[in-house]
A and B are shown apart, each in its own frame.
Chain A
Amino acid sequence: MGPLIVNEIISENTNLFLAFLIGIGFGFVLESNGFSSSRRLAGMFYGYDTTVLKVFFTAAIVGAIGLLFMSLFGWIDLSYIYINPTYLWSSIGGGVVMGAGFILGGYCPGTSVCAASIGKLDALAFIGGIFIGVFLFTEGYPLLEGFYKAKYLGSPLLNEVFNLSRGMLIFLIILAALAMFWVGEWAEKRFAHEDYKINQK
């Protein structure tokens, strides 16, 4: 049955319209959780607000379990799900540059758009920066292509690397997430600041 677009149950234009609706859900959930606040997002790295950790890992786990169950019920064919290919060096290199951008700018691309939608001017400046950064990449591509395409590994899955079933890997990720949530709850008390109100209470 799923994915609907691959099995031609919906048309290409319907798919784009549903992308718009999915985006509304995405933006609504991000904003409702305060991902429109750069100090909340940056709080992750100082321990005073670990919402990012909790939302991010819970969402990844729900996504992974959702895919597993839908495939077991026969609702979705996992072989049609797009897996981002892994090019090891550019994946690490890009991640390091993004990490630096995150701590200096206080947003990532999705959250900056969400924050700009409620009037955050620093988010608007961040979005301007993203356009410049993407343009620098597309213009500098001839110089970067070698590094960009180095150490291609295909589209490996972590459970295959460790020779585990999907379910067993997800179970281990859940255990790791629970440990991290516990540390997060501890950190929010340990590193609390007087001028920062968590959850706006």
Chain B
Amino acid sequence: MSKKNQKPYMNPYLGGVLLGLVLVIAFWVSGRGLGSSGAVKSAVVAGVETIAPSHAENAAFYKQYKETHPQPLKSWLVFEMLGVVVGGFLSGALAGRLKFKVEKSPKITNKTRIVFAVIGGILFGFGSQLGRGCTSGSALTGMAVLSVGGFVSMAAIFGTAFMLAYFARKLWI
């Protein structure tokens, strides 16, 4: 698809207002904000319970999780994230942005980009569990409800990324 067919992105301030309204609707309907990493946790727990049921019954984390979530996949965040796949696809389709592609700085190879994407994913996945939520669940939603934890998460995530940006610059610029 040529660049000419791609529509420009939305004005970011308008985008922020719309994202904030989605967040407000989530609060009003479900009494909770948006999230992402929790859906992966549900999928991992469900996977372990299926593949290694005896391990899931004995290991501390799964045992504790089972007490509060008898059916891990029947969770709010799992359904919300399925919606994200559909919503992202619809927006991409309407704007002419559907395309298989590896996005990166012209200075690095596709292989380098993929390796760092996996490493970044591992760190983000691990950190999101340690920090009880990621950018959407802990930082964005936490800030909207004015929770101290939300501001701490936001400062720690963005502060660290800023401090490390110099060392990772070849990946992006």
Q: Is the CB of A113 within 8 A of B97?
A: no
Which of B24, B45, B59, B84 lies in contact with A117, CB distance below 8 A? Answer: B84
- Number of contacting residues on B, CB 8 A? 126
Docked pose: A155 CA to B148 CA in angstroms: 8
Which of B86, B134, B136, B172 lies in contact with A106, CB distance below 8 A? Answer: B172
B-side interface mostly: helix
Docked pose: A170 CA to B150 CA in angstroms: 14
Docked pose: A17 CA to B30 CA in angstroms: 11
Q: How many pairs of residues, A versus B, come closer than 8 Å at their CB atoms?
A: 542
Which of A23, A94, A170 lies in contact with B86, CB distance below 8 A? Answer: A23
Chain B, 118-157, contact with A by CB distance < 8 Å: what is the 0/1 string? 1111111111111111111111111111111111111111
Chain B residues lying within 8 Å of A37, measured Cβ to Cβ, are: 103
Which of A6, A19, A118, A142 lies in contact with B99, CB distance below 8 A? Answer: A118
Residue on A with the closest CB to B31?
A3
Residue on B with the closest CB to A132?
B122
Chain B residues lying within 8 Å of A110, measured Cβ to Cβ, are: 34-36, 81, 84, 134-136
Interface residues of A (CB under 8 A from B): 2-6, 10, 15-34, 36-39, 42-46, 48, 51, 54-64, 66-67, 70, 75-76, 80-88, 90-123, 125-139, 141-142, 144-145, 147-148, 153, 155-159, 161, 166, 169-170, 173, 181, 193, 195-196, 199-201
Q: Which 4 A-B pairs have the closest CB atoms?
A: A105-B120, A129-B121, A94-B131, A23-B83
